[in-house]
Chain A
């Protein structure tokens, strides 16, 4: 089974609107972490947001929030007030195993977001 599933290969959103990028995960570990990264057309991988499996509150970083639903094993990224600069590939990732130390991180295949003016 896929560890990280991103079912939306591509999405469009109107500028200034909110958008949700879906991510579901599969793990039997109790302790794990979930990440979102942004990859613009220039190619670099930019860390956006982190959610730990024991965190009770959804993580937020500026216009980014992570909608964490543990029972459903979903970790959707919500971008509020989309900007043209948000056009990029977005990757969901999960850290499993030992907390601290080596982290086995699995990445999804990404969602390409295009923001329309």
Chain B
């Protein structure tokens, strides 16, 4: 158990509404990541953080923003949700060492109607 929780675990929302997903870790790891998982695509990186207030874009960042005001929390926001953002969202953490491994949270299933 890598000490990562995600909330909510399931959410159904309507197109155009804002949505915020939360990732919380108890491991004090420096690096945190948001991925989305879609059939046929594996996991794709949305944004990542390398410290408090330090974030950067991944390969599928359009339509998403993130914030990290505390080491333990990493928020993913969909400013105006679209149906193409229906997906399973995973948060991951890593220490940032040479043999680093990313450990994943339980995931959030988001449906945008």
Contact = CB atoms under 8 A, between A and B. Distances in A.
A29 interface: no
Nearest to B39: A109
A30 B61 CA distance: 28
Nearest to A47: B101
Contacts of B88: 43
A35, A50, A100, A105 — which one has the most chain B CB atoms within 10 A of its CB? A105
A33 B99 contact: yes
Contacts of A91: 42-43
Contacts of B96: 100-103
A116 interface: no
Nearest to A91: B42
Interface residues of A, number: 25
Interface residues of B: mostly helix, strand, loop or mixed? strand
Contact of A101 (B43, B50, B90): B50
Given A44-B104, A52-B99, A102-B96, A109 B90 contact: no
A47 B100 CA distance: 12
B1 to A, nearest CB: 10
B57 to A, nearest CB: 12
Interface in B47-83: 48, 50, 56
Contacts, number: 60
Nearest to B58: A104
Contact of A50 (B31, B40, B42, B101): B101
A57 interface: no
A35 B101 CA distance: 8
A33 B56 CA distance: 22
Interface in A91-117: 91, 93, 95, 99-105, 107-110
A11 interface: no
Nearest to A100: B98
B104 to A, nearest CB: 4
B91 to A, nearest CB: 10
Contacts of A52: 98-99
13 contacts: A43-B88, A43-B109, A46-B104, A47-B102, A47-B103, A47-B104, A91-B42, A95-B100, A100-B100, A102-B48, A103-B94, A105-B45, A107-B44
